[in-house]
A and B are shown apart, each in its own frame.
Chain A
């Protein structure tokens, strides 16, 4: 038995030193909009700090949608660029309607090129949407797909014989379900279930499988199992597990070992493509000079004549970031940018006015699956021409404050399949406005 006894500790706190950072731009938010803004900013030589809680980035499929569906139409959009013209006519307040097509295209180009540099190649934005597979075997329209997934849409379009492989113990991805949903449109699709090498008991996770496939010995064992499962097919579809850090390399190695064409299909969260993006951002951006403080929430943002100050704390203690400009990219309800209160929807950091229905009873229609959508999903922050949030008097809240991402009002990104499009394009535009502001200040 231990000889130590508890005495009453004196009431005293250890002194914590506040760390101060100075920067030109502080980006609040760690979703696609926040990280895209960081990429655009560093490419423009703007000194940047980025702060934000994990957010929903890890839930992404890896597909980068621009515009997959018009609100009032049944059919999916094949040509998103032409659909943008329609959107401008029908929804002039939509964030994408405020951005020239060339800027949206450039934003996608710059964003996808960034990933390609670091072992996560993406298809570049094309003239038309790509018909891509979802985790449950339905189809969706998207603009850019990771190279690891690109062979799936190609095999579907060419109707090649293909086997969808799933794994014993892996929840959230069923080859049988994918085949059942696609069978009418892809008759030569079959499925096989195999054991993942050295994971023969209990629940297994895509993240763990992906990391194990970074090890050559695991790839060799999986390749042998895949060759057995493929039968006569030359194309294999797998849940998204092809490595975490070097997915293009892992896929190429598996293809070399099996002589099969292999593609990934996104899985339900917790899924690999989002973790890939997050870990890539978190490793690469600091090397590009970004002061990145991930997993932390900004607790206060104040503005003065000479600049803005962000307050936050990490495990080690308090931090203050002094900056010339701020981009607010805090997302919606899931990421904490917006909060639903009994009486109204509020913006959580500054209490910015939120464009929203007059009354809570108007947030939702009676039927959740109503094709016309729900008013709450179009609530958000209103902005001026320079992507600055508006105060109650309809003037910019502060000349140093800009905003990007799905916190913006007048869009329903889920219904229109435009989440990444809004994030990337508005980040592109907000950074352009920040750059203009900084030059004018200089």
Chain B
């Protein structure tokens, strides 16, 4: 079968259409702050400044076909540091959309296809009935084996619940016990919550694959699911891009929502402040050091500094102010880890690790033993680059550390704890 050619985009023309007033490429001073601050610079012999200059020079064929668009994670750090406020991530999205499906990195395409294949909207293809089965099975086991939680609940399709909670597929598919700490947190704070059998999954690679039609369908299914259950808050789990794709998708496609989008991090902070989660750092008697990774998708690209501060409040409450070391740079200026934008799924391992070197250096400079992050892609990428570059740190979810601090972390819920943390429990 003949290969589908990649059509040539007129980037300069498209930029005029897409970019807001006052943010044209003509304003670029070629200062290079974008490239200097971009972990993808140099990969595939491309960088953000070069991308803009080539667009200005009409080198549309080269830009339409460069695989670099799959190495740019659309993290918007270039936009963040640009004195002229130029956003090239929109053009990267355009370029991705323009690639024929058979030429796109197949890992991202397949992830989107899986999402579209079931009502779960799960990138791992877990159907609704299987999700319900896994949740109920794990719940029964916890009720039976952990006496303090014999009344634990994990409601599904509970009409009128306050929180509609989404779930990254990795847990029910690969490590179901990792769902339990969050259920325990909800139990402790008395949250009125539910999973849904429809549209429960968090991940959404359709936006990253440049498939706008699929992105719309996924978001619509999820919005309809929340509206149908009559929930007031769609509570995003510890997953960065799920929030961004939902939030941006609803704005982009004008979907009507009878609910608010909220992040779990905000609620962790609120529940700690209200005393509903009485965490403290006394357990950290050995002074184990922690740092935190700000996911681009919920910090720089969405909530900004407010959620970054909430994250730090939660971390310091959990590990002690003196045991927290911030990465540099951080908050909205933080580097993308290289796990976003579908990079982890794209199969471009060497490029992804080259990208991740800067994150590795950031973590190494802190000297921290653990990185906390409320994002599954960040989590996987930081584990991978840690192993690859010889790092000596672990990566943990917030829910794990919250339950550890409260002394309620079950034996099967300690996958990401190293011997130093396990020793403090036992």
Q: Which residues of A contact B (CB under 8 A)?
A: 1-7, 9-14, 53-56, 58-59, 198, 201-203, 205-208, 211-212, 214-215, 217-218, 244-245, 269-270, 275, 279, 282-283, 286, 292-295, 297, 314-316, 334-335
Report which of B83, B109, B332, B361 forms a contact with A335, defined as CB distance below 8 A.
B83
Contact A314 B31 (CB under 8 A): no
Smallest CB separation, A134 vs chain B (Å)? 17
B132: interface (CB < 8 Å): no
Within 8 Å CB of A1, what residues of B?
101, 113
B117: interface (CB < 8 Å): yes
Within 8 Å CB of B113, what residues of A?
1-3
Smallest CB separation, B364 vs chain A (Å)? 5
Binds A, one of B53-61, B141-149, B302-310: B302-310
Q: Check A205/B304 contact, CB under 8 A, given A3-B116, A4-B211, A4-B218.
A: no
Distance A427 CA – B119 CA, assembled complex (angstroms): 59
Contact A12 B83 (CB under 8 A): no
Q: Which residues of chain B from 106 to 125 have a CB within 8 Å of any chain A CB?
A: 109, 112-113, 116-117
Contact A314 B304 (CB under 8 A): yes
Nearest-CB residue, chain A, relative to B112: A2
Report which of B250, B304, B365 forms a contact with A214, defined as CB distance below 8 A.
B365
Q: Which of B32, B254, B257, B302 has the most CB of A within 10 A?
A: B32
Distance A5 CA – B165 CA, assembled complex (angstroms): 26
Within 8 Å CB of B220, what residues of A?
7
Nearest-CB residue, chain B, relative to A15: B257
Binds A, one of B36-44, B181-189, B315-323, B411-419: B36-44
Report which of A2, A3, A244, A294 forms a contact with B332, defined as CB distance below 8 A.
A294
Q: List 29 A-B contacts (CB under 8 A).
A: A2-B109, A2-B116, A2-B211, A4-B116, A4-B206, A4-B211, A4-B217, A5-B213, A6-B217, A9-B253, A10-B254, A14-B257, A53-B83, A55-B83, A58-B81, A59-B83, A203-B42, A205-B36, A205-B41, A211-B358, A211-B362, A211-B365, A217-B364, A218-B361, A269-B31, A279-B333, A292-B305, A315-B301, A335-B83
Contact B254 A7 (CB under 8 A): no
Report which of A7, A59, A286 forms a contact with B31, defined as CB distance below 8 A.
A59
Contact A316 B358 (CB under 8 A): no
Within 8 Å CB of A203, what residues of B?
41-42, 47
Q: Which of B33, B85, B332 has the most CB of A within 10 A?
A: B33
8 cross-chain pairs, A with B, having the tightest CB-CB distances, nearest first: A6-B213, A4-B217, A4-B214, A214-B365, A270-B36, A245-B328, A9-B253, A205-B36
Within 8 Å CB of B257, what residues of A?
14
Q: Check A58/B83 contact, CB under 8 A, given A2-B113, A316-B304.
A: yes
Nearest-CB residue, chain A, relative to B110: A2
Report which of B33, B217, B326 forms a contact with A5, defined as CB distance below 8 A.
B217
Q: Which residues of chain B from 299 to 355 have a CB within 8 Å of any chain A CB?
A: 300-306, 309, 326, 328-333
Smallest CB separation, B51 vs chain A (Å)? 14
Contact A11 B254 (CB under 8 A): yes
Contact B251 A14 (CB under 8 A): yes
Main secondary structure on B side of the interface with A: helix
Nearest-CB residue, chain B, relative to A292: B305
Contact A215 B364 (CB under 8 A): yes
Within 8 Å CB of B37, what residues of A?
207, 270
Within 8 Å CB of A212, what residues of B?
361
Given A207-B36, A244-B328; 8 other pairs, CB 8 A cutoff: A3-B117, A5-B213, A7-B220, A53-B85, A198-B357, A201-B42, A205-B41, A315-B301
Nearest-CB residue, chain B, relative to A287: B309
Smallest CB separation, A314 vs chain B (Å)? 5
Within 8 Å CB of B82, what residues of A?
54
Q: Check A211/B332 contact, CB under 8 A, given A9-B216, A59-B31.
A: no
Q: Which residues of chain B from 69 to 101 have a CB within 8 Å of any chain A CB?
A: 80-83, 85, 101
Smallest CB separation, A44 vs chain B (Å)? 24
Distance A5 CA – B214 CA, assembled complex (angstroms): 6
Contact B302 A315 (CB under 8 A): yes
Distance A214 CA – B255 CA, assembled complex (angstroms): 46
Distance A56 CA – B216 CA, assembled complex (angstroms): 39
Q: Check A13/B216 contact, CB under 8 A, given A2-B116, A283-B330, A297-B85.
A: no
Within 8 Å CB of B301, what residues of A?
315
Q: Which of A53, A269, A293 has the most CB of B within 10 A?
A: A269
B62: interface (CB < 8 Å): no
B35: interface (CB < 8 Å): yes
Smallest CB separation, B424 vs chain A (Å)? 26
Contact B217 A13 (CB under 8 A): no
Within 8 Å CB of A314, what residues of B?
304
B256: interface (CB < 8 Å): yes
Contact B300 A205 (CB under 8 A): no
Distance A12 CA – B206 CA, assembled complex (angstroms): 22
Report which of B83, B256, B305 forms a contact with A334, defined as CB distance below 8 A.
B83
B157: interface (CB < 8 Å): no
Within 8 Å CB of B306, what residues of A?
316
Smallest CB separation, B312 vs chain A (Å)? 11
Within 8 Å CB of A293, what residues of B?
305
Contact B358 A270 (CB under 8 A): no
Distance A315 CA – B89 CA, assembled complex (angstroms): 14
Within 8 Å CB of B85, what residues of A?
53-54, 295, 297
Distance A54 CA – B300 CA, assembled complex (angstroms): 14
Contact B255 A12 (CB under 8 A): yes
Contact B256 A12 (CB under 8 A): yes
Nearest-CB residue, chain A, relative to B362: A211
Smallest CB separation, B142 vs chain A (Å)? 36
Distance A160 CA – B263 CA, assembled complex (angstroms): 59
Within 8 Å CB of A208, what residues of B?
36, 358
B212: interface (CB < 8 Å): yes
Distance A387 CA – B256 CA, assembled complex (angstroms): 49
Distance A310 CA – B399 CA, assembled complex (angstroms): 39
Smallest CB separation, B146 vs chain A (Å)? 39
Contact A270 B214 (CB under 8 A): no
Smallest CB separation, A282 vs chain B (Å)? 7
Within 8 Å CB of A316, what residues of B?
302-304, 306
Smallest CB separation, B322 vs chain A (Å)? 16
Report which of B117, B255, B305 forms a contact with A9, defined as CB distance below 8 A.
B255
Within 8 Å CB of A279, what residues of B?
328-329, 333
Within 8 Å CB of B254, what residues of A?
9-14
Within 8 Å CB of B251, what residues of A?
13-14
Q: Check A315/B116 contact, CB under 8 A, given A1-B101, A205-B35.
A: no
Nearest-CB residue, chain B, relative to A211: B361
Nearest-CB residue, chain A, relative to B30: A269
Report which of B101, B330, B332, B357 forms a contact with A295, defined as CB distance below 8 A.
B332
Within 8 Å CB of B328, what residues of A?
211, 214, 244-245, 279
Distance A297 CA – B112 CA, assembled complex (angstroms): 36
Smallest CB separation, A305 vs chain B (Å)? 31
Within 8 Å CB of A54, what residues of B?
80-83, 85
Smallest CB separation, A238 vs chain B (Å)? 17
Q: Which of A5, A202, A244, A270 has the most CB of B within 10 A?
A: A270
Contact A282 B333 (CB under 8 A): yes
